[in-house]
Structures are given as C-alpha cells and as structure tokens.
Structure 1
C-alpha cells in the first residue's frame, strides 16, 4: 500500500493462491508477485542482489541448513539492504513446557541440539538469540536490533485477555516494553534479529 514492490517466495501453491487473492482484495496485485520456491533454492526463482529488504520469517526452523538459508537471504540483498530474521526461540519452548507441567519435555528441549522437546514437537529446530546473531554476522551482515517476540503472549491464558477490560492493550504495551531487553530474549517464543548489509 506504500508503493513498494514485493516478491513472496513460498513452497506452497495454496499459500501463493491465498496471497494472490489477498493482494487483489487489498488493491495491490500489481505490486505483489508470488513465486514458488524455497530459501535453499532461492536463486532458481529470484535474482541475486535485487532486493532492498528480505524478510525471512518462520523459515530457518524448517530448513536442513539454516546457515545456507541466511547466506542466500543475504545474497539476495542490494548493498545497504536489510535482513529481518524471525525464528522460534528455544527458551520460550522450555518455559512453556515447564509451565504446562511437562518437565521432562522441557529438559529435553533444553538439551536437544535442535531444541526439540520430543517426537511430537511440531517445530524441527529452535534458536537462541546468540545463535541467530551468529548466523547473521557469519553471513557478513552487521547485527542490529534483537527483539524478543511473544515473551508473555503465549503464556497468558486467553480467557484473561478476552474478558479483562483493557488486557489486550496492556499486554501489547508490555510486549513492546520488553522486546529489546536482553533479559527477556531467553524466554521469548520467537526471536527477531535485524541485519544490515554494508556496501
């Protein structure tokens, strides 16, 4: 809506169909292009060095080689481009399992190299803020802001947020207040890292 041209890369034809429909409904179909592909085969569908910003959200958890995925995202950037990286946080999963009374699963997530709590875990891999920052810097970017996302939101009972007047607004303000505080990164459900490509 601000006039930017957006390319969306997704392996799912259904997701791309939904994107096309939503872009048309929003009146921006002429500025949104969807292509079928993934981060490891990125340059089969888009050009290198062609983008001012790359948003890699909810991707690294599902690829066999996260470092290669980040390198590809960086290679898609123009000089001075920015990378926005969002991935599942390890600490948030450990805390959530422990608070649910699943202490063995919490310990399993804490000690598992991929941060998984067991066979039934739907997330293949989780990260710490340090691991994500290392992936970003290792790909040649300068690490900018690091944010914790959904620090409290996934732990607060939904009935409390839905029934308590002003609770949702207060929760959002609390999330914003703690997002950049390193003390809360270790318990966030998701972690967001910004990186900048230097010319």
Structure 2
C-alpha cells in the first residue's frame, strides 16, 4: 500500500503508539480509551486516534490550530470524539483534570516549554494509575548536527554539538534538542518505565524528494528502512526526532 510522503515522517511513531493503545485497551477491558494530546495542534494524531474510536482531548495554545482541529474532526466525522481546549503544558490542569487519561501524547512540546521537566511531570500526572501510556516526541540533537553539516554550515553544526541546549546559533528556531539518553532520563525521572526509544526521520529528511518520487516503490521502501532503523541505537544519534514510549509502573 502506498502512503503520502508527509505520512512517512510520523509512520514509526504511529505504529508504536497504536500497538501500545491496543495493549492498554486489552489490559483494561475497554475498547475506547481517553487520550490527552498536549500541543496536539490541528489533530495530526488526534483525528486518526478518534477514527480508531478513542476519545481525544487536545490542549494547544493556538486558537488557529484548534479551529483547524475542529474543522478536520468534522470532515472526518469524528467531531463527537475530539475536544479542543486552549492551554499549555505549564497550566495543563487549569483546563483538564489530572489522572483521567489512559494515554498522553507529548509531541513537539518539550523543545519549547520553559521547563521541560515540569512539562513532562504535568503530562505524567494526567495519566491514570497502572499502565497508563506516555508518548514523547522531541527534536534530536544528532539530526540537527548532521543536517547543518550536510548543508555546508560546519560552524553551526559544531556549535549545536557543544551547546548545552543543542542549538546552532541565535537564528535557530528550536530552543532545545535532546539526545536519546537525555530524553529517556527525563522520562525515567518522572517514575515511568521506558518501554522503547525510536529514531524518527532518520533518512527521510536527508533523501531528496525528487529521488523518492521518481522511483516506483521508493517511498514504501524508504518507509520500511525507517521502520527497520528506528529501534537501533546507532541511528538514534542521527535522527531528526526521538520518540520515547513509557508506561506507569
């Protein structure tokens, strides 16, 4: 089955998350789970999760993103399963109740919050006890270093490699990046058990789009390569993003 090129960027995360939710549903004996998507924006994950039948609450600071979420959910006929509320990780419990969710997504959040540890603690506090699932997706340091170097920006690459926040300079739009070890440690400090670490967009950001589009079957082959490399620690070091799946002990 062919897939859109854009979907390739999150295919690894989606497969891991869907399997984790299936296990959670089986464990609790409920086919419908309550999912919280912090920073979920226009519903890139929320709407597909709702199509699986889960109830999804999206917390995002952008009213424009929440409007797009509402429209997208309506177009996909899952408006009754998706709720958007304006807020952020810092004031999460101003808009949602703690300990009410089977799964929490924290995707593209820890790079931007003032205190990554606090943002993650809030996400964990939203989980129900025993077996709740946390999915964390954040910018990877190695991928940024590699990308700047391949673009000929060698000083930027070296700066990102040595900068405490993994930034390549003042023009860098990303406030913070992580290594796999740093992100895993941050999750473990909340008391959760890390079930898996995955490299995301290991190759897809580096392969020219024209090359993939010109070769029949190349997109699917690239997706299979991404999936094969995702769990190998050697490729975590060069991934554009890092994904950590964890569970409440």
Q: Same fold (TM over 0.5)?
A: yes
Partner residue of 1:36 out of 79, 86, 95: 86
Q: For residues 121-150 of structure 1, what are the alpha-carbon distances to aligned partners after superposition, in whole Å with 9 as ceiling and x for unaligned?
A: 111110001111011100110011000000
Partner residue of 2:215 out of 156, 161, 164: 164
Q: Residue 186 of structure 2 aligns with which residue? A: 135
Deviation, 1:77, is: 0.1
1: distance between equivalents of 2:213 and 2:171?
A: 29
Q: Residue 15 of structure 1 aligns with which residue? A: 65
1: distance between equivalents of 2:74 and 2:145?
A: 41
Please give the TM-score of this superposition, normalised by the length of structure 2: 0.79
After TM superposition, list the pairs within 5 Å mapping 1:94-109 onto structure 2: 94-109=145-160
1: distance between equivalents of 2:52 and 2:146?
A: 39
- SS in structure 2 of the partner of residue 188 of structure 1: coil
* Backbone CA RMSD of aligned residues: 0.7
For the pair 1:119 / 2:170, whether they are aligned, the reply is: yes
Q: Residue 192 of structure 1 aligns with which residue? A: 243
- SS in structure 1 of the partner of residue 207 of structure 2: coil
Q: Residue 224 of structure 2 aligns with which residue? A: 173
Moved over 3 A (4+): none
2: distance between equivalents of 1:130 and 1:2?
A: 32
2: distance between equivalents of 1:156 and 1:119?
A: 27
Alignment length (residue pairs): 198
1: distance between equivalents of 2:82 and 2:222?
A: 33
Please give the TM-score of this superposition, normalised by the length of structure 1: 0.98
- SS in structure 1 of the partner of residue 114 of structure 2: coil
Q: Residue 127 of structure 2 aligns with which residue? A: 77
For the pair 1:49 / 2:99, whether they are aligned, the reply is: yes
For the pair 1:59 / 2:124, whether they are aligned, the reply is: no
1: distance between equivalents of 2:196 and 2:81?
A: 28
Normalized per residue, the structure richer in strand is 1
Unpaired segments ≥5 residues, structure 2? 1-50
Deviation, 1:2, is: 2.2
